[in-house]
A and B are shown apart, each in its own frame.
Chain A
């Protein structure tokens, strides 16, 4: 059975490659962009991909991407990748990405230079951070009709809040949450996780959930798992959860201990020649303040340009003022943790190793 699945999968990939080749043969200029699918990609498509094609005649074809560095090792590497900031640092460090020249970005409409307009730290060596998103915990309202989970420690408390938890199968947010649940102040989380003892403590906290975890890797999954009642709490991205709420899923986001991170446009080394020009053109286009604001109106990810904040209005269908739903809204930041992405990049191997050991223990 497994073998059969594999063959079908391989056939699928082969077919996909063929169609891709077929497209290049037709010589319509195309830019491949690796991005995260689902509601997020839909919003990107509506706001910037189609507009870019209309303006330049370059078609945008998206390829699915769920984070990590594997994308740079694929057979056909996409021209542009919408990467997590930590991954961008990592790729930059190994020389897998083109260095980024911030002067190629467009000024704000009032003429403010990008260096002043972008938030501190948004202009990276090998890319430009274009939005802030939040990794947080949401719970199924139906599962807890009485007392609601409010603190991140409640996520680990299966006595007061019984039921399965959905988690991304990565040693990321869960480590921070485990220590925050121990009462560690936000400012010390990464310092403590840097020690062997801290890592052990975090994984020990995770032990309390062993057997209760449903792992996910597709970012749309957590909302689905909550909707169909498989789990009662789930980690996920605020934009997806918001979208699920709009679609009627009775979930509530627990903003306590939300982890704020950024998405970065990067151009892999393999992108060369004409494609590189298209890629640069695309990044310049996609980081326009008006488009970032429009994107935030469709999915609540905060723009990284100051000039974009003033433009954020209502959700086009639901008519909700979207500025209130951004991870960077003042009342969401009270207990927010900003991800230390440099630390993340440099500890990737270590974290993977410890996480794999922890997973193996449970088998």
Chain B
């Protein structure tokens, strides 16, 4: 608001944000295209892509078998080595890390960890692991934004805006879908719609789209012909399919969360887990080559009537869910978006086949396949708006979008109740960032009491001192409460000035208020505010959780200040213009 009076600051910010967004759009788009090209090149030379596999099928069948088994295994080994030996974070990074950094205004994991994770994702996808490519690309985008935000440009919220720009450009490039990129950055990463972020994100998104579509002329991802929904009751069917997809999505996400525990139970060291998963994947792929990699061909087949038999679809849905959970859980680097698309589209096709089996008149397989694809994917990534827009931008088909929209919302409603807003959010919650009640709680839970103004020299008494001495000390210091510490320096309790007047000869230990709250170095502002609901007093002791030693005291006023300023910051960020 103040900036309204200072036009040159506005102009400066405007120009910097615009230039930054354009630069990010170009850089992220180029890296995203390079990412896709690398994966596709690897897929071809490593005999993962069907186009390459068929060319050795007749002449060298043994080579094909060897490649199917060895490529994912050795690729897994390489991924394991890279992540455990070179990456400081020792795990692949993805959208949750970007959300974490943006919501808590913290830096991303180190640049090196990001680069290793990205290369590991290229290797994983290149070797046919059943993981997604969009998660790593989203991270790549946020990484670029993060690097740029390290320049000291004197713009509020620059890091969040820059990361959102990078993410938007990545999605816009990957899907040829600028609107979806823009919405994804807000819906998943930023979780608010301030104009300050919206404008640059749009610029980055459009730049990414322009690079992908105009400069490099990348083909659209998914062209489907669809004439329109012919029967009104089909919208009920889309809703029903949405509900079933919701159940499937919950099962899929629960498996993904469980898989790391299974991996741990195998006793394999983390370095060799991806290789083990790769070998199992290879075995499965010998009989069911459709599970390998991203599965562009399978996506297309699912929209063609008669490409699969009922049982094939059912088998593939189950197999893809299992191998994806295994690949992600055992440590391959990659996301869950593309596998979700695949599982969803196969399920949609299956749903249609069942309808057809019962002779229900319908508008054809394509709309059910696409509706299933999006209904299953949206609750996994927690982005209903984005998925609806992706359908719109990929297919440019209005009727198809409306049909998919119905499935998407029902799936999201159900999944939200049974599981949570998305896989990312549940993963973040398990790491201590709970976004289910909005951004405030997440931020406040991660702001610590210990980081506030701590009074290191409160009035301190020994447990055996008597009340009158305590009273004198308190009056002399002008305080209302004294902290009792034993001879080892351990915190014992608090004695209030008014209590010392009643019992002048008693040892303070006997008149201390046992119910007085205390915090540790881990207590969050959120927790502190809950603890202070019925509190009447001046300051709260902060105690080392491991040793029980007193660190200092924090006043109620400074906690309320911290709370208000955090909430105020959030509101200001959400309403920021330029």
- Interface residues of A, Cβ cutoff 8 Å to B: 182-185, 187-188, 190-195, 197-198, 201, 204, 342-343, 346-347, 349-350, 353
Q: Cβ of B55 and Cβ of A343 under 8 Å apart?
A: yes
Partner pick for B296 among A188, A346, A347, CB 8 A cutoff: A188
Q: Cβ of B58 and Cβ of A350 under 8 Å apart?
A: yes
Q: What CA separation (Å) do A342 and B297 show in the bound complex?
A: 19
Q: Cβ of A184 and Cβ of B304 under 8 Å apart?
A: yes
Q: Cβ of B51 and Cβ of A191 under 8 Å apart?
A: yes
Contact with A along B236-277 (1 / 0, CB 8 A): 000000000000000000000000000000000000000000
Q: What CA separation (Å) do A303 and B219 show in the bound complex?
A: 27
Q: What CA separation (Å) do A118 and B225 show in the bound complex?
A: 37
Contact with A along B209-236 (1 / 0, CB 8 A): 0000000000100011100000000000
Which residues of B sit under 8 angstroms from A183, Cβ to Cβ? 224-225, 303-304
Q: Is B301 an interface residue (CB 8 A)?
A: yes
Specify the chain B residue showing the minimal Cβ separation from A193. B54
Q: Is B323 an interface residue (CB 8 A)?
A: no
Partner pick for B307 among A188, A191, A197, CB 8 A cutoff: A197
Q: What CA separation (Å) do A197 and B295 show in the bound complex?
A: 13
Instruction: Count B-side interface residues using an 8 Å CB cutoff.
Output: 25
Query: Closest CB-CB distance, A183 to chain B, in whole Å?
Result: 5
Q: Cβ of A349 and Cβ of B53 under 8 Å apart?
A: no
Q: What CA separation (Å) do A190 and B53 show in the bound complex?
A: 12
Q: What CA separation (Å) do A226 and B393 show in the bound complex?
A: 44
Q: Cβ of A195 and Cβ of B304 under 8 Å apart?
A: no
Task: List which B388-438 residues lie within 8 A (CB) of chain A.
Answer: none
Q: What CA separation (Å) do A183 and B222 show in the bound complex?
A: 12
Partner pick for A198 among B224, B225, B297, CB 8 A cutoff: B297
Specify the chain A residue showing the minimal Cβ separation from B304. A182
Q: Beyond A184-B300, A350-B57, is A195–B306 a contact (Cβ under 8 Å)?
A: no
Q: Is B59 an interface residue (CB 8 A)?
A: yes
Q: Beyond A185-B223, A347-B54, A353-B58, is A191–B296 a contact (Cβ under 8 Å)?
A: yes
Which residues of A sit under 8 angstroms from B50, Cβ to Cβ? 191-192, 194-195, 198
Q: Looking at chain A's contact residues, is the secondary structure mostly helix, strand, loop, or mixed? A: helix
Specify the chain A residue showing the minimal Cβ separation from B301. A197
Which residues of B sit under 8 angstroms from A192, Cβ to Cβ? 50, 297, 300-301
Which residues of A sit under 8 angstroms from B49, Cβ to Cβ? 191, 194
Specify the chain B residue showing the minimal Cβ separation from A342. B55
Specify the chain A residue showing the minimal Cβ separation from B308. A197
Q: Beyond A188-B297, A198-B297, is A349–B59 a contact (Cβ under 8 Å)?
A: yes
Q: Cβ of A350 and Cβ of B304 under 8 Å apart?
A: no
Q: Cβ of A201 and Cβ of B58 under 8 Å apart?
A: no
Q: Cβ of A346 and Cβ of B55 under 8 Å apart?
A: yes
Q: Cβ of B51 and Cβ of A194 under 8 Å apart?
A: yes
Q: Beyond A182-B304, A185-B223, A192-B297, is A349–B58 a contact (Cβ under 8 Å)?
A: yes
Q: Cβ of B219 and Cβ of A187 under 8 Å apart?
A: yes
Q: Beyond A182-B304, A201-B306, A201-B307, is A194–B219 a contact (Cβ under 8 Å)?
A: no
Besides the contacts A195-B50, A346-B56, what 17 more A-B pairs have beta carbons closer than 8 Å? A183-B224, A183-B304, A184-B300, A188-B297, A191-B49, A191-B50, A191-B296, A191-B297, A195-B54, A195-B297, A198-B297, A201-B306, A201-B307, A346-B55, A347-B57, A349-B59, A350-B54
Query: Closest CB-CB distance, B286 to chain A, in whole Å?
Result: 13
Residue contacts A-B, CB under 8 angstroms, 18 given? A185-B223, A191-B50, A191-B51, A191-B296, A191-B297, A194-B51, A195-B50, A195-B54, A195-B297, A197-B297, A197-B301, A197-B307, A201-B306, A342-B55, A346-B54, A347-B55, A349-B59, A353-B58
Please give me the 10 A-B residue pairs with the lowest Cβ-Cβ distance, nearest first. A346-B55, A194-B54, A194-B50, A349-B58, A194-B51, A195-B50, A187-B219, A350-B58, A185-B223, A191-B51
Which residues of A sit under 8 angstroms from B301, Cβ to Cβ? 192, 195, 197-198, 201
- Interface residues of B, Cβ cutoff 8 Å to A: 49-59, 219, 223-225, 289, 296-297, 300-301, 303-304, 306-308
Which residues of B sit under 8 angstroms from A346, Cβ to Cβ? 54-56, 59
Which residues of B sit under 8 angstroms from A349, Cβ to Cβ? 58-59
Q: What CA separation (Å) do A209 and B308 show in the bound complex?
A: 22
Q: What CA separation (Å) do A198 and B296 show in the bound complex?
A: 13
Q: Beyond A184-B304, A188-B296, is A343–B58 a contact (Cβ under 8 Å)?
A: no
Partner pick for A188 among B55, B59, B300, B306, CB 8 A cutoff: B300
Query: Closest CB-CB distance, A182 to chain B, in whole Å?
Result: 5
Q: What CA separation (Å) do A198 and B70 show in the bound complex?
A: 25
Which residues of A sit under 8 angstroms from B306, Cβ to Cβ? 201, 204
Which residues of A sit under 8 angstroms from B58, Cβ to Cβ? 347, 349-350, 353
Specify the chain A residue showing the minimal Cβ separation from B366. A183
Q: Beyond A187-B219, A195-B50, is A201–B55 a contact (Cβ under 8 Å)?
A: no
Q: What CA separation (Å) do A193 and B304 show in the bound complex?
A: 14
Query: Closest CB-CB distance, A270 to chain B, in whole Å?
Result: 24
Query: Closest CB-CB distance, B40 to chain A, in whole Å?
Result: 11
Q: What CA separation (Å) do A206 and B51 show in the bound complex?
A: 22
Q: Cβ of B51 and Cβ of A190 under 8 Å apart?
A: yes
Which residues of A sit under 8 angstroms from B51, Cβ to Cβ? 190-191, 194, 343
Which residues of B sit under 8 angstroms from A198, Cβ to Cβ? 50, 297, 301
Q: What CA separation (Å) do A350 and B57 show in the bound complex?
A: 8
Q: What CA separation (Å) do A347 and B54 show in the bound complex?
A: 7
Q: What CA separation (Å) do A28 and B225 show in the bound complex?
A: 62
Specify the chain B residue showing the minimal Cβ separation from A183. B225
Which residues of A sit under 8 angstroms from B289, Cβ to Cβ? 195
Specify the chain B residue showing the minimal Cβ separation from A184. B300
Q: What CA separation (Å) do A190 and B51 show in the bound complex?
A: 7
Which residues of B sit under 8 angstroms from A184, Cβ to Cβ? 300, 304
Which residues of A sit under 8 angstroms from B223, Cβ to Cβ? 185
Specify the chain B residue showing the minimal Cβ separation from A349. B58
Most A C-beta atoms less than 10 A away, residue of B52, B224, B307: B307
Query: Closest CB-CB distance, B176 to chain A, in whole Å?
Result: 13
Q: What CA separation (Å) do A195 and B288 show in the bound complex?
A: 11
Which residues of A sit under 8 angstroms from B53, Cβ to Cβ? 194
Query: Closest CB-CB distance, A196 to chain B, in whole Å?
Result: 8
Query: Closest CB-CB distance, B13 to chain A, in whole Å?
Result: 42
Query: Closest CB-CB distance, B389 to chain A, in whole Å?
Result: 21
Which residues of B sit under 8 angstroms from A187, Cβ to Cβ? 219
Query: Closest CB-CB distance, A181 to chain B, in whole Å?
Result: 11
